[in-house]
Structure 1
Amino acid sequence: MERLKKFKTAFIIFSIFYIVLGFVLIARPETSARAICRVFGALILILGVIRVIRYFAGNDFADQFRFDLARGILAVMFGIFMLIAPNAVIVALPVLLGLAIIIDSVLRLQLSIDLKRLQYEKWWLGLVLALVTGVLGAMLLFNPFAGSVALTMYIGISLVIDGIVNIWALILLTKHFNNYSIW
């Protein structure tokens, strides 16, 4: 039960982050991508350093198999790369975000089918939203935009929509499953 509450909280925070990041990309497309890349690079670098320190500070045998050292070193390297070469990350960003949105959409598709199996009458809304966000993600993969400003704004719009749909789906699930006492 506690894990489920933590998952819901993390999911909401992640979705709100998507929405805020989307609005930032829409409002300031020409400067926000590089700045966001540097902020993320710094955060990933800090988290990597924390993982490495936690690895060497930990004495519990069970902690040794969480791969904190390896994950920490990789995070430090990726964080440094994002700080040094933000343009390279920006080039790959549409593909990475497109894949993340498509994966999210596939999960939402399964959720809507599960709701249909549970005889929830509005299951089709989840299906429609899964398809819409899937198309948004696919468009990011194929990048039909000529300019980087248009692409950045499209990424922002896609993130806002995906974040809102995620929160809506979580509210819907919570409301529907409260009757089953698993939430």
Structure 2
Amino acid sequence: MFEKIRNTLIATSVLYLLFGIVMLFFPGLVITSVCYLVGIMFLFVGVSGIVMYMKTEIKTAFTSFTLVMSIIFGAFGVYVLLNPEAFASFLPLVMGIFLLVDSVSKLSMAFDLKKFEYKNWWQMLIVAFILLGCGLLLVFNPFEALAVSVQIIGAILIVDAVSNIFTIYSYSKIDKK
């Protein structure tokens, strides 16, 4: 069990660290890239649905609904591609929600460490509360400057990666008992 947790946390930590570094040092690139990728994705889904509708011989309520949703998705994709700043303003909120969920996970890990009688379990508890605070900050005060928000999110991802490495270390100590 600990081996699977360790491998998952290592992979997660590496990704968090890489994304965190990119977000910290290249926030404008991240904002633009995410907006364009999301816009392209919605546009692709919209166009695919419209093409599927056109190729369908029998028109039903479902295919008509699919056409309407495809038009909405395609229009949203075009909107995001033409107005990436409007879409980008939601990024801190999404990241804040992610951090809130991750902090609950870390809180659970802290109590697992306590249950396994690891003497420094409280350190994971502190990390969980730090992540909780950062998540709440992003949800309730997403800052005026989006680039600063992205840099803060990058720094938080780096902190989260370090906390995952601490978790690996802590669980490896339990595994040796």
Range into which the TM-score falls when normalised by the shorter chain:
0.5 to 0.7
Distance 2:163 2:22 in 1: 18
The amino acid that maps onto 2:143 is: F
Which residue is 1:91 aligned to?
A: 89
1:33-182 equivalences under 5 Å are 33-38=31-36, 81=77, 84=81, 86-87=84-85, 89-179=87-177
Task: Give aligned-pair identity as a percent.
Answer: 28
| Counterpart contact for 2:24–2:154, Cα < 8 Å | yes
Unaligned runs of 5+ residues in structure 2 are 46-72
Query: After superposition, what is the alpha-carbon deviation per residue over 1:34-70, rounded to whole angstroms, capped at 9, x for unaligned?
Result: 224546788x89xx9xxxxxxxxxxxxxxxxxxxxxx
* TM-score of the aligned structures, taking structure 2 as reference length: 0.66
| Counterpart contact for 1:137–1:158, Cα < 8 Å | no
Range moving further from structure 2, 168-177 or 5-14:
5-14
* TM-score of the aligned structures, taking structure 1 as reference length: 0.65
| Counterpart contact for 2:116–2:174, Cα < 8 Å | no
Runs of 4+ more than 3 Å apart = 4-8, 36-42, 80-89
Which residue is 2:16 aligned to?
A: 18
- 1:6: how far off? 5.1
What is the count of residue pairs matched by the alignment? 145
Unaligned runs of 5+ residues in structure 1 are 49-76
Q: Of the two, which has the highest radius of gyration?
A: 2
Distance 1:133 1:31 in 2: 25
Query: After superposition, what is the alpha-carbon deviation per residue over 1:3-31, rounded to whole angstroms, capped at 9, x for unaligned?
Result: x6555434322221111111111111223
Range moving further from structure 2, 149-158 or 30-39:
30-39
Distance 2:77 2:167 in 1: 35
RMSD of aligned alpha carbons: 3.1
